[in-house]
Amino acid sequence: MIRFTADQKCRLKAHNVTDRQILELERKVLPASRYHISKQPTLTDVRDELGKLNKALKNAQNTMAELLQADEEISAKGEVFERIMSENFKLQGEDEFFEDTLRAIAVANVITEKARKKLTTEQTRNNEASPYPVQLIADALTRNNESNKTIRPSVSPTSPFFKIVEICYEAIREKHQDPSRAIRAYRYSSK
């Protein structure tokens, strides 16, 4: 749970935010907002990670396949395979462990390769301000309103709503996000 600082709570209360509203903001709105607007990894980073995993799986698959095909009487690989199978039989009493593992690695290899190939060439991250966190804040302020004082959404930097959204963004430490853009996006989407 993300918590407001004492100073932030004091500033929220100065804008007529109740204790119940603060609690809902902390429990539900702030974590969801942080997740929604946090910086996502770049497409290149994701592709690189999948590539590393795919390469490691291919190496494991090739090494295991070589061991399975090794001549146990002549090569060191054959000796390695025989020792592995002997230890496996002592532990589990199964003969097909190595083959089953090789099949599982082959399937994982295919899956990671398909996932890497399905990545688009265009970045899916969006630099637009998302209205979603502002919608969550507005809903929380409406839902737990114990007083008759309604906090109306406003794009004015001096309005209570703007200040509340600003405090929420400050609490989730998303300084790269501009709350005013998010509020404008929210006002535009709710019309």
- Could you tell me the residue ranges of all domains in the chain? 6-39+126-189, 43-118
Query: Which pLDDT value is given to residue 39?
Result: 67
Query: Which pLDDT value is given to residue 186?
Result: 86
Q: How confident is the model at residue 147 (pLDDT cuts 50, 70, 90)?
A: low
DSSP 8-state assignment for residue 70: S
Q: Which of 34-38, 77-81, 107-111, 170-174 ranks highest by mean pLDDT? A: 107-111
Q: How confident is the model at residue 58 (pLDDT cuts 50, 70, 90)?
A: very high
- Give the span between the Cα atoms of 113 and 160, in whole angstroms: 51
- Look at the block and give the residue holding tokens 């509340």: 164
Q: 143 to each of 17, 18, 77, 92, how far by Cα in Å?
A: 12, 11, 68, 59
- Give the span between the Cα atoms of 55 and 161, in whole angstroms: 51
CA 96, distance to chain mean position in Å, is 37
For residue range 65-109, list pLDDT tens digits in order. Answer: 887 777 766 778 777 877 877 777 777 766 677 778 888 999 999
pTM of the model: 0.56
DSSP 8-state assignment for residue 28: I
Percentage above 90 pLDDT, the chain = 32
> Is the dihedral angle over the CA atoms 8, 11, 15, 17 positive or is it negative?
positive
The stretches of 43-178 forming alpha helices (DSSP H) are 43-69, 76-92, 97-118, 132-143, 160-171
Q: What is the DSSP string of 21-41?
A: HHHHIIIIIHHHHHHHHSPPP
